[in-house]
Amino acid sequence: MKKIILLLLLTTFFVSCVNEVKQNREVDYSDDIYQYSSKNILLENDYVGDLTVGEIKRKGNFGLGTFNMFDGELVFYETNVYQAKTDGTINEMPNDKLSPYVVTKFFEADTTITFPNNISLDSLKAILLPIVENTNTPLAIKIDAKFKTLKSRSIDKVDNESIELTEIIANQTEFDFTNVKGTVIGFWYPQYFDGVNFPGFHFHVLLDDLSGGGHLLDCTFENLNIEIDFASGVIVDL
């Protein structure tokens, strides 16, 4: 995979319907989203990268992606990079494990929203959409919640790169949970990033007790707390 660094400068906007969170930084980390590879590269069946878990940890503390040959779902939360496998296990990954695609950021909330009542994932997206579309810039979203119901998925490692991405996803393994607690790690990209990334919301989830996780398909939230981090830019490493 050739290396080209593309810096896309963005403007941060704030909205009146959410509460600002002070931005004091104890450490001067980058406020950019770091992205390794792209949607178009994955659609070209390039499933092998050379970005290590150790390198991912130097690019952020929050993120999502996958491992080489789509060996499970990647969930990056705080200091650990986890693999959600199709057998339902969650594994903390060593620093030499390789990824062909990841999106990560040093997460620091700019705004927060709290919902005390039950709300579906689709309803939450409908509420968030005017906020994120108003900014029209990529951003990170973290949700801490209790889930009344939750459906996630993982995907099996493929044997070769002739298998199309759509076929890989069609063979996903799904998991259902009830009355669990966890954290949603997500990003939103505007339509003009299509090809660079997948426009819209992309959420992974990690349960607090590490009993499950992966790509979030659907859920009903209870007592959720949403934090939004508006990025100052996007660095795309191709």
Predicted local confidence at residue 10, as pLDDT: 42
Q: Indicate the residue type of 198.
A: F
**Whole-number pLDDT of residue 29:** 78
Supply φ then ψ for residue 110, to 5 degrees.
-95, -35
Please determine, for residue 37, whether its predicted confidence score (pLDDT) is greater than 50. yes
Mean pLDDT of 3-12: 41
Q: Check residue 169 and give its pLDDT.
A: 96
The class (CATH top level) of 5-22+29-237 is alpha beta
User: Is 211 exposed, middle or buried (CB count within 10 Å of its CB: 0-12, 13-18, 19+)?
Assistant: middle
pTM, rounded to two decimals? 0.89
3-state SS track over 83-111: EECCCCCEEECCCCCEECEEEEECCCCCE
pLDDT confidence band for 115 (50 / 70 / 90): confident
pLDDT band for 116, please (50, 70, 90 cuts): confident
Segment 177-185 mean pLDDT? 98
pLDDT, tens digit, 9 for 90 and up, residues 142-173: 999 999 999 999 999 999 999 999 999 999 99
pLDDT value of residue 117: 86
